[in-house]
Chains A and B, each alone.
Chain A
Amino acid sequence: MAAIELRQLTKVYPGGVKALDSLDLVVPDGEFFALLGPSGCGKTTLLRTIAGLETATGGAVVIGERDVTGVQPGGRDIAMVFQDYALFPHMDVTDNIAYPLRIKKVAKGARHEKAREVGARLGLEQLMDRRPGQLSGGQQQRVALARVMATQAQAFLFDEPLSNLDARLRLEARTFLKKLQRELGVTTVFVTHDQAEALAMADRMAVMESGHIRQIGTPAEVFQRPANTFVAGFIGSTPMNLLDATVRGDTLEVAGCKVPVPSSAAGLLRDGESVVYGVRPEYNTYSDRPADGALGGKVVIVENLGASHLVTLEVAGVSVQAVVPEGNEPAVGDDGYASPRRDRALVYRDGELVSA
């Protein structure tokens, strides 16, 4: 078990593409850490640089207080699950799980014993003699996990561990992975492009954009107080309302309506300043009657989310979304009013969160 520390890590690909730009990050011992971002943001490059499959152009990778920047992947005492699992198709499940031990020159009997033990723990007893081609996607994933567990490495790296499973299995695997990580207590970094996955599984997460980390925090922090408009727009299953606003004393003028300055930004704004007002649809209370500090407009779209509805209002030419519980959803064309929760609304100045 060990912490992972990155110091000003930089990766420039031949041809001048800067995939990682001077990143600093500490993943404490035993943490389940998510690297989240849109495709091409450098999250996979970062994971591969930690693994040693890519060479850092600058900076340092420290695993368990040992600088491993120049060390080969095999010498870093880490284990990795690839997006496609990379199980060896010519070996059965036992040999696949035992492969890391074969490299460590563990005798055949002992390593097969260990493989059976780990396999049993992941419910693979019946499959130990099969080839990967004879396994379902979920089973292949468990074999890949068993293989990294057999290494007893100090840290695990997962590259998009759930992306190859179908939707229902993915939910199951999410719960399973989180439970397994908690039981093993091994420092684990995983990469995902799915914000719901990161929020659900990680203890802490980093949101990345074009080679930079835009925010690090717990899922709750990142969801409730996105540090900038990029994170605000990326996190959440329904994107946050980001509306141009002008400061007018104690209120903000948003799309022709007056809303109170959110508590997080109270006393930090200058009169007359142009800012961006942000509120999640989930934190908008919908009503069909006018209210103080509400954004009023016409209902243009109602989308069914299951137990709730996503209602889009058009307020002076600007779209504002609110989540409405089932039972009292409006019809298209109705007049509607969305009242943002003052303790959950946020203000961004030049794209960055305004807060004390």
Chain B
Amino acid sequence: MTRFVLGRIGFYTLIAVLLAFFTIPLLWLAAAPFTSDPTYEVRVPDFTLDNFTAILEHPYALPSLLNSLILAVGTAALVVVFAALAAYALSRVRLPGRDALLYALLLLSSIITGTAAMVPLFQLAVELNLIDSQFGLILILTGGLLPAAIFMMKDFMDSTPKSYEESARVFGASPLQIVRHVVVPLVRPGLATIAVWAVANVWGNFLMPYLLLSDVEKQPAAVIMYTLYTEGGQANLTLLSTFGLLYSIPVVIMYLFVSKKYGFRFHGGIKR
């Protein structure tokens, strides 16, 4: 009996410690921006808005959030369009070596835009005159996300019955019409998933923009965050916490919005 009680106490203590490990940073992020002189400890805030005034006066903070948005939306748009078209083709056309190609893509995707490919990617960007260009960065980020996106998207495409498309074909619809009228609406939840995943990925990406964008006016929030130091070389917790909060909010809102709008799937139309 004592053994059991002790075991339970140990178990719940472990869970409490684990939970604290994840909650305390979040509590800090919620409290510190509203505290006059934030430190590393979590304190009950005195609800000042001075920190927000300070971050608004920072010359690069707000524009960097806009830069993040441009990079994220641009990349997500390209990824969704290309992944959908490629996945549709891969799902519907039988090619020799198709599966091998897909697995190779998935494998390579973790290397491209990863640390391993840094030097050649930088070289490539320089040669193509795409260094310090947001468009160039979008292309490189798209390339990095596409393989995994195609892989995920193909799964969605595979799970939609072919007879929808054949039906439209017999009525005379062209391939592009079939994709627009039938395939895209059917896989919309999949497209939304890919878009959210791409946005979140780009939003949190530090390395690529840090390497490829030198002009501070073009840099996204993730890079600007890295520059928020006091004159003494210490992390400026006032600005960091406030900017951290502003940086997280858009992603949270996006998740809530998308899950509300696409958190369901169509049912019926095919009798099983």
> Among the listed stretches B23-31, B100-108, B160-168, B205-213, which one makes contact with chain A, having 4 or more residues with CB under 8 Å of it?
B160-168
Q: Does B16 contact A (CB under 8 A)?
A: no
The answer to whether residues A135 and B172 also contact, given A82-B167, A88-B164, A103-B177 and a CB cut-off of 8 A, is no
Tell whether, in the assembled complex, residue A85 and residue B270 are in contact, meaning their CB atoms are under 8 Å apart: yes
Contacts of A78 in B (CB 8 A): 170
Most B CB within 10 A of own CB, among A75, A89, A102, A137:
A89
- Interface set, chain A 252-305, CB cutoff 8 A to B: none
Contacts of B196 in A (CB 8 A): none
A197–chain B nearest beta-carbon distance, Å: 17
In the complex, residue of chain B having the shortest beta-carbon distance to the beta carbon of A81: B167
> Among the listed stretches B54-62, B135-143, B261-269, which one makes contact with chain A, having 4 or more residues with CB under 8 Å of it?
B261-269
Q: Does A84 contact B (CB under 8 A)?
A: yes
Tell whether, in the assembled complex, residue B271 and residue A100 are in contact, meaning their CB atoms are under 8 Å apart: no
With an 8 Å Cβ cutoff, the count of chain A residues facing the other chain is: 33
Interface residues of B toward A: which range?
Answer: 20 to 34
In the complex, residue of chain A having the shortest beta-carbon distance to the beta carbon of B268: A133
Q: Does A99 contact B (CB under 8 A)?
A: yes
In the complex, residue of chain A having the shortest beta-carbon distance to the beta carbon of B172: A74
| Bound: A83/B164 CA distance, A | 11
Q: Does A53 contact B (CB under 8 A)?
A: yes
Tell whether, in the assembled complex, residue A134 and residue B170 are in contact, meaning their CB atoms are under 8 Å apart: no
Tell whether, in the assembled complex, residue A90 and residue B185 are in contact, meaning their CB atoms are under 8 Å apart: yes
Contacts of B163 in A (CB 8 A): 82-84, 86
Contacts of B174 in A (CB 8 A): 74
Of A74, A90, A140, A164, the residue contacting B170 (CB under 8 A) is: A74
In the complex, residue of chain B having the shortest beta-carbon distance to the beta carbon of A82: B163
Tell whether, in the assembled complex, residue B266 and residue A133 are in contact, meaning their CB atoms are under 8 Å apart: yes
Tell whether, in the assembled complex, residue A99 and residue B266 are in contact, meaning their CB atoms are under 8 Å apart: no
Tell whether, in the assembled complex, residue B266 and residue A90 are in contact, meaning their CB atoms are under 8 Å apart: yes
A329–chain B nearest beta-carbon distance, Å: 40
- Interface set, chain B 232-253, CB cutoff 8 A to A: none
Q: Does A59 contact B (CB under 8 A)?
A: no
A275–chain B nearest beta-carbon distance, Å: 46
Contacts of A90 in B (CB 8 A): 185-186, 188, 266
| Bound: A137/B174 CA distance, A | 29
Most A CB within 10 A of own CB, among B169, B170, B171, B268:
B170
In the complex, residue of chain B having the shortest beta-carbon distance to the beta carbon of A101: B171
Q: Does A28 contact B (CB under 8 A)?
A: no
Q: Does B173 contact A (CB under 8 A)?
A: yes
Of A75, A82, A137, the residue contacting B166 (CB under 8 A) is: A82
| Bound: A104/B171 CA distance, A | 9
A166–chain B nearest beta-carbon distance, Å: 11
Contacts of A227 in B (CB 8 A): none
Of B164, B173, B267, B271, the residue contacting A140 (CB under 8 A) is: B271
Q: Does B182 contact A (CB under 8 A)?
A: yes
Tell whether, in the assembled complex, residue B270 and residue A84 are in contact, meaning their CB atoms are under 8 Å apart: yes
Q: Give 18 pairs: A residue, B residue, CB < 8 Å, sorted on A.
A: A53-B170, A74-B170, A75-B172, A79-B171, A84-B163, A84-B271, A85-B269, A87-B268, A88-B181, A88-B269, A89-B266, A89-B270, A100-B172, A102-B181, A132-B268, A140-B269, A140-B271, A164-B271
Q: Shortest 10 CB-CB distances between A and B: which pairs?
A: A133-B268, A74-B172, A89-B269, A132-B269, A86-B167, A86-B163, A89-B266, A90-B185, A100-B171, A164-B271
7 extra A-B contacts, CB within 8 A, seeds A86-B161, A86-B270:
A73-B169, A74-B169, A82-B166, A86-B163, A88-B185, A90-B188, A132-B269
